[in-house]
């Protein structure tokens, strides 16, 4: 029994007892179930498993503290109204905002942050990390860290523009269909059904095989694939608004379609649409990453997270973590956006109940 | 009962029409392909006569609509023509691989469906507790991770570091069923992780949605014990959403398999599709897309029909 | 009626909190309640008074998002606030039963009615399944449900609303509880259906000498049902007294004001001897899409400056008539004349001037006002749209309109609808209609979603505006008290046809079309003996659906 193991269990048990004593039910449940799980883990995996648990817990605690601080920071920075909203944000959402903020900085200031150029070959292939190269070199001897920073720009930028394109198409058509109704609505609904019954990745592959892979093709393909999803949601949200009496009142007044959409429908559908934008961004981002990973997305030498995973995948069989870093970057951003969206959806549904 | 048959028939008819439209979309999009197929097959050096002969042989001199109908007629009996790259029959190239893909999807589904529905009901019961929140964060993380990320992590730990499972899911003929399950465990597990998270969240949402109904409150005020409220009062009404959840995720399993197959070098239809796209082997891409779309539509249809069949208002009309 | 003197339920200083905006807020602020065996207590109050919360609290049940924070609830010697959840649950259904407002939503759609009925007695091992079924059929008989032997074996969606409500009362009776909580059991029903449910409930409660808490916002209904009445306001008790005393001699000002509500009556106006009607509906037939005919040969006239009330139960075609006039639903046959000239049937073909003449005020002020638009713009837009006002002129007009509806312009100009109360929102709706300077306004159930006192204020305001601006109203309502206070002429509709029309003072004097009689006699009155007298006159088998069917046939 090492000191570490004794300390580990002592910490957990004292923590559980304190939580129980102070009537913190959920903290107690968490700590004590962790203790029980640790018994099994300790027996099966030995000290290293326990160390892993301890390190994960430490990382989680760090993330929680960063999120907490970041939320306080945001509350101080923004106006009173916004601050009131932000106070209701759980730590997960604050964490999400922090990650998104970091990525935005990295993407915007990439050339100043990255020590080397995007396609600059500076050492031998797969060179290990040294004081020059934080994460070592890739299969052509380019700096991994710099490429990841540049990748933020390319991968996120591409997904953002594709999502925005899908949104303009889908939300526009959805609002129009909800207001106009009639055959236009019917036709658009059927059309969306057809597009949506082709699986998205397959449809993207089909289009890429026909038009070849370039940025423009990817953006168009993604916009066409995701616009029907946005359309469906917008149509549903706007459909709920359109049956309201104030829309009838405006129609009876003689207002045109443009006024109805701009002044009456749009202000009442922004909350779900913003959440949907986040959600769609996640799907698009994962799809684009998947395409790049298959070698059919953004073409080299442009740095892109999906293709970086593919190019360096061989390192994994040597037990190296490096190729997983771009993959983790993808996962982290998607998780972050999902956390924020989760909070926004919860808020908008909570408001509805009142 | 006539009502239900009518509704189901209508849904099936609609599915068939959508499939037809999609086959047309797939076929005519390929028509937009820049360049000449005959040229692509024979290469730059081909003579004009050879090209014309090949065009005639492939039926390229016919109008598009005639070729589409011919292709459709073939597709119905699983005759998708010949591959441009290998020259072999597309159907035979797809056949076995499609079976492999279905096997992998079924393997993952067998594990994922029972676990996720059980866990989904459980977190719905424990909603707003610490376990619910932890489950929320964990499932969200799994959904957000690209399949290749999860796949490589599993490879890194389970095969490279601990050597428990093979990293490459290769198949050969004389394999026993147990061996097959062992070799395909990691790809199946990757898909289980993603799909379970999805299904759990959706099951939880469906049940919580139902628990807010007045008839659930009525049951509670009648003194019905909590487990009975769930089993007797919530579950019979939850079948429709749960069936939809399952069908959606099965559809996802079959199409999302592409990335997993590439990571684990598994000989499925997804690998074939990716190779064909890279080589622009149009007949193969065509056939794969049609098969994927058909599976997807069939599963969605099954969900709709299931939802219709479990709706008490439709089962017992006025 | 012989009453046992033992106390069945004793609630002392009950406080219940609700969770909103991240904090717990008191919604019940210390209420006492004592109920004896066999006694029926009426809980009345406006929305937000906490009636339902107390009702659920009496079962030791706190709805999601509420909690019992203080006080004691003692049921037959057992303290519910400290009892375990299992102990409390053992009481529910067996000794305390609950009847919910919407029977249609409170029956599980997946099970037959009788299976839901027998669930509690079988679970508590009071009866075997077959015995419980026989008992259910017996109860259906006593509650005078049609086809009592067979009705229980149907699914809830196969049975009508009034019948479901009685089946739910039967279900509450299944274990012969000591106490039943009735939570607004007839609020969602039409008046003619309401009677049959009221009669059935009163009957069964008498037969088994069950104690009951009857929750409602309708004074006339509670007068028929309760032995004692307790008045609540915003989570506090106002007063409690035996029914007779409470009706004749209320002590508190708030109670008096509730009782005095229907005192307002606008003087009757008569149509001019000659002259063209402002709106003339001529032989209109209408239907939605390819559905069945909703309106069948509807004709009537509305003269300038007069109020025509259109009365009928749900599904009678009142609102559809309004949609035909406003042009939202072009009629299949017939036409609508405005000052003698035909209105284009579809509103999209009407000119701005034509649209301006005919405005609407809606039932639900919540859905009638865009929550994301400022009051100034809601009211200002029609003025800007029709009269082209801008800048200072527009602001003056909005201020003027706010003054007209008795809201302080300085205070409300920049606010949003969700910040206002129900009555204030309805006033904004009125101001928006006025901003167009119309001659004719359709009022679609404008007071039915409001508490009685607030509704009274709205009626007075509408009447005043009518005098000042010479407006004609088409007043759609199902509430005859409203008709009595504001109408000049009355139109009675049933199944899409005009059954009867004429000046108000004629309508409230017999003789009439049998449907009008049925409708008029079905409206509960404050007299506690009203229901008894009515049942004697009409006979127990000539109520609700049965009576309506007789007339229809």
In chain B, how many domains are there?
2
Same domain? For A54 and A168 the reply is: no
Do A254 and C432 count as a contact with CB atoms less than 8 A apart? no
Mean pLDDT of chain B: 81
- What pLDDT, on the 0 to 100 scale, is given for residue B221? 87
Regarding predicted confidence, which is higher, A121 or A329? A329
Q: How far is A333 from chain C (nearest CA, A)?
A: 29
- What pLDDT, on the 0 to 100 scale, is given for residue C271? 82
Q: How confident is the model at residue A354 (pLDDT cuts 50, 70, 90)?
A: very low
Residue A182 to residues A187, A251, A265, Cα–Cα distance (Å): 9, 16, 18
Do B313 and C90 count as a contact with CB atoms less than 8 A apart? no
A331 pLDDT more than 80: yes
Residues of C in contact with A88 (CB under 8 A): 22
Q: Average of pLDDT values for C292-319?
A: 87
Do C120 and B313 count as a contact with CB atoms less than 8 A apart? no
Same domain? For B59 and B167 the reply is: no
- What pLDDT, on the 0 to 100 scale, is given for residue C38? 83
Nearest beta carbon to residue A316 from set B18, B155, B280: B155
φ and ψ of C71, to 5 deg: 95, 180
Can you give the CATH number for the domain in which B215 is found?
1.10.3720.10
Closest CA to C62 of C42, C46, C85, C43: C85
Same domain? For A65 and A154 the reply is: no
Same domain? For B67 and B119 the reply is: no
DSSP A69-130: HHHHHHHHHS-HHHHHHHHT--HHHHHHHHHHHHHHHHHHTHHHH-SS-SS-B-SSTTPPP-
Q: For A93-130, b where at least 16 C-beta lie within 10 A, e where not — what string? A: bbbbbbbbebbeebbeebeeebebebeeebbeebbeee
- What pLDDT, on the 0 to 100 scale, is given for residue C57? 85
Residues of B in contact with C119 (CB under 8 A): 219, 222, 224, 232
Q: How confident is the model at residue B42 (pLDDT cuts 50, 70, 90)?
A: low
**pLDDT one-digit tens code per residue, C516-544:** 878 777 877 777 788 888 877 777 666 66
A166 pLDDT more than 90: yes
Question: Which residues have C-beta within 8 Å of that of residue C86, sequence separation ≥ 6?
Answer: none
Same domain? For B129 and B258 the reply is: yes
Same domain? For B162 and B28 the reply is: no
The CA distance from C210 to C174, in Å, is 12
The CA distance from B19 to B291, in Å, is 10
Same domain? For B244 and B111 the reply is: yes
List the domain boundaries for chain C.
7-106+177-259, 279-372+419-521
User: ipTM more than 0.85?
Assistant: no
C239 pLDDT more than 60: yes
Number of Cβ atoms within 10 Å of the Cβ of C180? 23
- Indicate the residue among A16, A37, A69 that finishes a domain: A69
B1 pLDDT more than 60: no
pLDDT over 70 percentage in chain C: 95
**pLDDT one-digit tens code per residue, C392-449:** 999 999 999 999 888 888 888 888 888 888 888 999 999 999 999 999 999 988 887 7
Please indicate, yes or no, if residue B82 is contained in any of the structural domains.
Answer: no
**Which of B133, B149, B194, B205 is the mutation pick for testing A, counting most A CBs within 10 A?**
B149
Nearest beta carbon to residue A309 from set B129, B134, B148: B148
Do residues C207 and C143 make contact, with C-beta atoms less than 8 angstroms apart?
A: no
**Which chains have at least 3 CB atom pairs separated by less than 8 Å from chain C?**
A, B
- What pLDDT, on the 0 to 100 scale, is given for residue A100? 92
Q: Average of pLDDT values for A143-154?
A: 86
Q: How confident is the model at residue A98 (pLDDT cuts 50, 70, 90)?
A: very high
Same domain? For B24 and B146 the reply is: no
Same domain? For A57 and A158 the reply is: no
Please indicate, yes or no, if residue A313 is contained in any of the structural domains.
Answer: yes
- Indicate the residue among B51, B76, B101 that finishes a domain: B76
**pLDDT one-digit tens code per residue, B129-188:** 778 888 888 888 888 888 888 888 888 888 887 877 887 777 777 777 888 888 888 899
Write out the residue range of the structural domain in which residue B51 sits. Answer: 2-76
**Which of A205, A208, A324 is the mutation pick for testing B, counting most B CBs within 10 A?**
A205
Please indicate, yes or no, if residue A118 is contained in any of the structural domains.
Answer: no
In chain A, how many domains are there?
2
Q: How confident is the model at residue A170 (pLDDT cuts 50, 70, 90)?
A: very high
The CA distance from C139 to C228, in Å, is 26
Burial group, residue C53, by CB count within 10 angstroms (0-12, 13-18, 19+): buried
Number of Cβ atoms within 10 Å of the Cβ of C9? 23
Please indicate, yes or no, if residue A19 is contained in any of the structural domains.
Answer: yes
Do residues C15 and C30 make contact, with C-beta atoms less than 8 angstroms apart?
A: yes
Please indicate, yes or no, if residue A27 is contained in any of the structural domains.
Answer: yes
C548 pLDDT more than 70: no
Question: Which residues have C-beta within 8 Å of that of residue C499, sequence separation ≥ 6?
Answer: C492, C493, C513, C515, C516
The CA distance from B118 to A324, in Å, is 32
Please indicate, yes or no, if residue B84 is contained in any of the structural domains.
Answer: no
- Indicate the residue among A69, A103, A118 that finishes a domain: A69
Please indicate, yes or no, if residue B63 is contained in any of the structural domains.
Answer: yes
Do residues C486 and C309 make contact, with C-beta atoms less than 8 angstroms apart?
A: yes
Same domain? For A209 and A315 the reply is: yes
Same domain? For A38 and A167 the reply is: no
Class of domain C279-372+419-521: alpha beta
A352 pLDDT more than 60: no
**Rg of chain C's alpha carbons, rounded to an integer?**
26
Residues of B in contact with A313 (CB under 8 A): 152
Q: Average of pLDDT values for C276-296?
A: 84
- Indicate the residue among B42, B76, B110 that finishes a domain: B76
- Indicate the residue among B53, B76, B99 that finishes a domain: B76
- What pLDDT, on the 0 to 100 scale, is given for residue C5? 66
| Cis omega (within 30 of 0) for bond into C180 | no
- What pLDDT, on the 0 to 100 scale, is given for residue C78? 83
Q: Average of pLDDT values for B215-239?
A: 85
Regarding predicted confidence, which is higher, A90 or A319? A90
Write out the residue range of the structural domain in which residue A10 sits. Answer: 3-69
Give domain C7-106+177-259's CATH superfamily: P-loop containing nucleotide triphosphate hydrolases (3.40.50.300)
**Domains C7-106+177-259 and C279-372+419-521 fall in the same CATH topology:** yes
Q: How confident is the model at residue A353 (pLDDT cuts 50, 70, 90)?
A: very low
Can you give the CATH number for the domain in which A253 is found?
1.10.3720.10
- What pLDDT, on the 0 to 100 scale, is given for residue C431? 92
Q: How confident is the model at residue C2 (pLDDT cuts 50, 70, 90)?
A: very low
Same domain? For B69 and B104 the reply is: no
Do A318 and B160 count as a contact with CB atoms less than 8 A apart? yes
Kindly state whether B218 is in contact with chain A, defined as any CB-CB distance less than 8 angstroms.
no
Residues of B in contact with A193 (CB under 8 A): 18
Q: Which residue of A has its CA nearest to B209?
A: A349
The CA distance from C150 to B41, in Å, is 75
- What pLDDT, on the 0 to 100 scale, is given for residue B276? 83
C373 pLDDT more than 50: yes
Same domain? For A249 and A341 the reply is: yes
- What pLDDT, on the 0 to 100 scale, is given for residue A333? 92
Kindly state whether B314 is in contact with chain C, defined as any CB-CB distance less than 8 angstroms.
no
A165 pLDDT more than 90: yes
Mean pLDDT of chain C: 84
- What pLDDT, on the 0 to 100 scale, is given for residue A113? 83
Closest CA to C75 of C14, C27, C3: C14
pLDDT over 90 percentage in chain C: 9
C37 pLDDT more than 90: no
Residue A134 CA from chain centroid, whole number: 25
Do A209 and B285 count as a contact with CB atoms less than 8 A apart? yes
**Which of A213, A294, A306, A311 is the mutation pick for testing B, counting most B CBs within 10 A?**
A294
Question: Which residues have C-beta within 8 Å of that of residue C318, sequence separation ≥ 6?
Answer: C310, C311, C312, C476, C478, C493
Please indicate, yes or no, if residue A80 is contained in any of the structural domains.
Answer: no
The CA distance from A16 to A211, in Å, is 60
**pLDDT one-digit tens code per residue, A201-256:** 888 888 887 777 788 888 999 999 999 989 988 888 888 888 888 998 998 888 88
Kindly state whether B224 is in contact with chain C, defined as any CB-CB distance less than 8 angstroms.
yes
Q: How confident is the model at residue B306 (pLDDT cuts 50, 70, 90)?
A: confident
Kindly state whether C59 is in contact with chain B, defined as any CB-CB distance less than 8 angstroms.
yes
- What pLDDT, on the 0 to 100 scale, is given for residue C3? 46
Nearest beta carbon to residue A253 from set C20, C355, C368: C355
């Amino acid at each position: 029994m090492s000191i570490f193991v004794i300390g580990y269990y002592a910490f957990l048990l004292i923590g559980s007892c304190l939580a129980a004593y102070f009537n913190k039910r959920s903290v107690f449940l968490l700590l004590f179930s962790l203790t029980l799980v640790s018994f099994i883990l300790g027996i099966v995996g030995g000290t290293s498993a326990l160390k892993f648990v301890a390190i994960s817990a430490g990382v989680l605690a760090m993330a929680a503290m960063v999120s907490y601080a970041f939320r306080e920071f945001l509350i101080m920075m923004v106006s009173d109204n916004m601050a009131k909203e932000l106070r209701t944000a759980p730590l997960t959402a604050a964490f999400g905002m922090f990650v998104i903020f970091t990525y935005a900085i990295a993407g915007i200031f990439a050339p100043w942050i990255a020590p080397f150029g995007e396609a600059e070959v500076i050492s031998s292939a797969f060179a290990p990390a040294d004081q020059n190269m934080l994460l070592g070199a890739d299969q052509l001897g380019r700096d991994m860290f710099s490429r990841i920073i540049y990748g933020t720009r390319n991968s996120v930028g591409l997904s953002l523009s594709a999502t925005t394109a899908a949104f303009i198409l889908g939300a526009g058509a959805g609002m129009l269909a909800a207001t106009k109704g009639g055959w236009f609505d019917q036709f658009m609904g059927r059309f969306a059904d057809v597009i949506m019954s082709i699986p998205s990745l397959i449809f993207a592959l089909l289009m890429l095989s026909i038009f070849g892979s370039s940025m423009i093709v990817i953006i168009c393909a993604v916009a066409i694939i995701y616009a029907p999803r946005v359309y469906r949601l917008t149509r549903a949200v706007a459909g709920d608004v359109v049956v309201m009496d104030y829309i009838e009142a405006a129609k009876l007044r003689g207002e045109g379609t443009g006024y109805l959409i701009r002044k009456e429908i749009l202000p009442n559908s922004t909350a779900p649409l913003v959440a949907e934008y986040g959600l769609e961004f996640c799907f698009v981002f994962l799809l684009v990453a998947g395409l790049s990973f298959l070698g059919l997305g953004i073409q080299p030498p442009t740095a892109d997270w999906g293709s970086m995973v593919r190019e360096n995948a061989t390192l994994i069989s040597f037990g190296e973590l490096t190729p997983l870093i771009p993959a983790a970057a993808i996962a982290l951003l998607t998780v972050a956006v999902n956390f924020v969206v989760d909070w926004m959806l919860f808020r908008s549904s909570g408001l509805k109940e009142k | 009962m006539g009502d239900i048959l009518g509704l189901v028939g209508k849904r099936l008819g609609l599915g068939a029409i959508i499939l037809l439209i999609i086959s047309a979309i797939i076929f005519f999009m390929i028509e937009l392909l820049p360049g000449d197929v005959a040229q692509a097959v024979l290469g730059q050096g081909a003579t004009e006569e050879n090209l014309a002969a090949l065009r005639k042989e492939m039926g390229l001199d016919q109008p598009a609509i005639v070729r589409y109908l011919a292709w459709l007629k073939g597709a119905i009996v699983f005759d998708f023509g010949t591959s441009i790259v290998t020259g072999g029959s597309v159907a035979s190239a797809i056949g076995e691989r499609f079976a492999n893909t279905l096997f992998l999807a079924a393997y993952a589904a067998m594990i994922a469906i029972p676990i996720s529905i059980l866990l989904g009901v459980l977190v719905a019961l424990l909603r707003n507790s610490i376990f619910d929140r932890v489950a929320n964060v964990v499932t969200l993380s799994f959904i957000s991770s690209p399949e290749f990320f999860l796949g490589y992590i599993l490879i890194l730990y389970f095969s490279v570091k601990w050597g428990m499972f093979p990293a490459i899911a290769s198949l050969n003929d004389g394999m026993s069923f147990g061996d097959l399950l062992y070799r395909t465990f990691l790809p199946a597990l990757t898909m289980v992780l993603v799909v379970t998270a999805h299904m759990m969240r959706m099951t939880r949402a469906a049940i919580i949605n139902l628990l807010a109904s007045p008839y659930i409150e009525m049951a509670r005020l009648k003194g019905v014990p909590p487990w009975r409220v769930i089993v007797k009062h919530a579950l019979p009404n939850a079948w429709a959403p749960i069936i939809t959840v399952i069908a959606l995720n099965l559809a996802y399993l079959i199409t999302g398999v592409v990335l997993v197959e590439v990571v684990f070098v598994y000989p499925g239809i997804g690998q074939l599709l990716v190779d064909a796209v890279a080589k622009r082997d149009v007949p193969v891409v065509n056939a794969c897309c049609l098969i994927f779309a058909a599976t997807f539509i069939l599963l969605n249809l099954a969900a709709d029909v299931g939802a219709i069949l479990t709706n008490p208002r439709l089962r017992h009309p006025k | 009626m012989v009453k046992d003197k033992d106390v069945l339920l004793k609630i002392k200083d009950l406080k219940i909190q609700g969770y909103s905006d991240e904090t717990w807020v008191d919604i019940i602020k210390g209420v006492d309640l004592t109920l004896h065996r066999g006694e029926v207590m009426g809980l009345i109050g406006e929305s937000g008074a906490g009636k339902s919360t107390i009702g659920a609290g009496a079962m030791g049940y706190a709805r999601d998002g509420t909690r019992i924070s203080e006080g004691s609830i003692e049921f037959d010697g057992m303290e519910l606030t400290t009892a375990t959840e299992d102990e409390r649950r053992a009481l529910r259904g067996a000794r305390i039963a609950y009847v919910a407002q919407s029977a249609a939503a409170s029956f599980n759609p997946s099970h037959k009615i009788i299976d839901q009925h027998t669930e509690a007695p079988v679970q508590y091992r009071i009866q075997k399944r077959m015995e419980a079924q026989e008992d259910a059929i017996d109860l259906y008989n006593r509650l005078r449900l049609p086809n009592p032997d067979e009705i229980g074996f149907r699914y809830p969606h196969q049975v009508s609303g009034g019948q479901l409500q009685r089946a739910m009362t039967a279900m509450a009776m299944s274990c012969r509880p000591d106490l039943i909580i009735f939570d607004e059991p007839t609020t969602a029903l039409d008046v003619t259906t309401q009677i049959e449910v009221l009669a059935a409930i009163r009957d069964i409660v008498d037969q088994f000498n069950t104690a009951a808490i009857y929750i409602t916002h309708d004074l006339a209904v509670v007068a028929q049902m309760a032995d004692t009445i307790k008045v609540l306001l915003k989570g506090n008790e106002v007063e409690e007294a035996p029914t007779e005393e409470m009706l004749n001699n209320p002590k508190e000002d708030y109670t008096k004001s509730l009782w005095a509500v229907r005192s307002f009556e606008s003087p009757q106006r008569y149509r001019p001897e000659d002259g063209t009607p402002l709106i003339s509906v001529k032989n209109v037939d209408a239907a939605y899409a390819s559905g069945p005919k909703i309106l069948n040969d509807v004709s009537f006239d509305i003269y300038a400056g007069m109020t025509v009330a259109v009365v009928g139960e749900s599904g009678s075609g009142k609102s559809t008539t309004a949609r035909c006039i406003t042009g939202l639903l072009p009629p299949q046959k017939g036409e609508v004349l405005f000052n003698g000239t035909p209105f284009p049937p579809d509103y999209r073909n009407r000119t701005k001037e034509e649209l301006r003449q005919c405005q609407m005020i809606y039932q639900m002020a919540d859905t009638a006002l865009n929550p994301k638009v400022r009051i100034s713009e809601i009211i200002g837009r029609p003025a800007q749209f029709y009269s082209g006002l801008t800048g200072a002129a527009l602001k003056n007009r909005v201020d003027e309109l706010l003054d007209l509806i008795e809201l302080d312009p300085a205070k409300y100009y920049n606010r949003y609808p969700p910040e206002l109360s129900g009555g204030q929102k309805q006033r904004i709706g009125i101001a928006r209609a006025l901003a167009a300077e119309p001659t004719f306004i359709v009022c679609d159930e404008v007071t039915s979603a409001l508490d009685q006192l607030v509704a009274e204020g709205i009626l007075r305001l509408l009447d005043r505006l009518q005098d000042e601006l010479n407006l004609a109203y088409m007043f759609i309502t199902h509430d005859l008290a409203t008709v009595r206070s504001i109408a000049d002429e009355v139109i009675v509709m049933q199944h899409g046809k005009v059954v009867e029309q004429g000046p108000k003072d004629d309508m409230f004097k017999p003789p009439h079309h049998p449907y009008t009689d049925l409708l008029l006699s079905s409206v509960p009155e404050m007299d506690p003996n009203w229901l008894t007298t009515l049942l004697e006159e009409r006979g127990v088998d000539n109520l609700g659906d049965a009576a309506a069917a007789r007339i229809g046939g």
